[in-house]
Structure 1
């Protein structure tokens, strides 16, 4: 009898939008150790700890509501040959998967949802001035973020998106630099389609954490 002791977890980072894949083994928890996952942008995504008994406790940062969700699972569930789905407790949307690598990859391809699809499903069409333009713009931003092509001049890739009826606002969570992207016409959409990357202007941050008025200035073609 072969005991399956290695599986893969995938979660989408709520800060930068990237998918993070990590392999983990039953032996990661030997001696009561805790196992953690961080996104490449530095955002903590997942903590798995083992309490007394056979239960494992998962704390995962939700890519939908940005809250911390907690769930309890058995060893059999975490290292099963079947897929375990992690969901948002508020929206019940899928935010991650645990299981054998090939099944996790298929699940991501089958169920991966863009920001535009989520916005459409949640009924935001009446909120937007031009829904079709906004949905396509959200998809473009989402794709650029997943490829690591949305960043700030201060060096951070921890960018949040705030959605308004006629534009998107990108904001760096490190230095609070902002950039607005209009979503009122097809010309607005085409402008973003022609970009290789999006870089926020960036603010200098002093050692005591205060912002300087000076900004990073980088003049390169095909950036906004």
Structure 2
């Protein structure tokens, strides 16, 4: 039987936000040899340890909630031919994955392709403060709208969406109520994900509104 000796990690640094991809070797991990993965910025990204090689403990800093999460994987999960996804234990948001190189590469390519399409539509990668965060926020808003969770008290629900470099603004074209959604940091998305619905009541999620250039998108 062919024994898998390597697995690949993709995870975002909780300090600088950089995506890190690193290969871990079975021979570099043992009861006396925990493996420490560092980001280029010098911050500790992940620590992998095992007592008996039957299970592995992953200790990772979280870019979303800023706490440290512990994950326990069996040996078959850690060295699996499928990807294991790491999520924030506070919010459930995806942080990264570990698995075969091809699976991890496909995971990263899928995220990059979705981001590239959005960036091109909005006029270039330099438009957003954080394009990946904006993608997450937009995806959530559109999903919420499809499920009927986005509405205005006036009942018309003629909602217009405006996209700025650091936020999303929702406006009712009938009564002029609005809702501002900050979309600059991972924490902004985490806060947004906790909402079961959004009602336009001149409410603000995140930082104060800034004067910036904007792009208009009408949902009707």
Counterpart position of 2:207: 164
- State the 1:54 CA deviation: 1.4
Quick one: distance in 2 between partners of 1:43 and 1:68? 13
* Residues 50-199 of structure 1 aligned to structure 2 (within 5 Å): 50-52=50-52, 54-111=54-111, 114-120=132-138, 121=140, 132-133=163-164, 134-135=166-167, 164-166=207-209, 183-186=210-213
Quick one: distance in 2 between partners of 1:62 and 1:31? 25
* Count of residues in Structure 1 that have an aligned counterpart in Structure 2: 147
Counterpart position of 2:194: none
**CA deviation vs aligned residue, 1:34-69 (integer Å, no higher than 9, x gap):** 001111111111001012461111111112212100
Quick one: distance in 1 between partners of 2:42 and 2:36? 12
- State the 1:73 CA deviation: 0.7
Counterpart position of 2:8: 8
Pair 131,66 (structure 1): closer, same or farther in 2 beyond 3 Å = farther
Maintained 8 Å contact 2:7/2:23: yes
Maintained 8 Å contact 2:137/2:183: no
Quick one: distance in 2 between partners of 1:165 and 1:58? 37
Quick one: distance in 2 between partners of 1:135 and 1:102? 34
Pair 16,53 (structure 1): closer, same or farther in 2 beyond 3 Å = closer
Q: How high is the TM-score relative to the length of structure 1?
A: 0.57
Pair 131,88 (structure 1): closer, same or farther in 2 beyond 3 Å = farther
**SS of residue in 2 equivalent to 1:98:** strand
- State the 1:8 CA deviation: 0.6
Maintained 8 Å contact 2:86/2:96: yes
1:37 equivalent in alignment to 2:37: yes
Maintained 8 Å contact 2:6/2:24: yes
Maintained 8 Å contact 2:12/2:18: yes
Q: Which runs of 5+ in 2 are unaligned?
A: 116-131, 145-149, 151-160, 169-181, 187-205, 216-220
Quick one: distance in 2 between partners of 1:119 and 1:51? 40
Q: How high is the TM-score relative to the length of structure 2?
A: 0.58
Quick one: distance in 1 between partners of 2:6 and 2:46? 17
Quick one: distance in 1 between partners of 2:48 and 2:162? 40
| Cα RMSD (Å) | 3.1
Maintained 8 Å contact 1:51/1:57: no
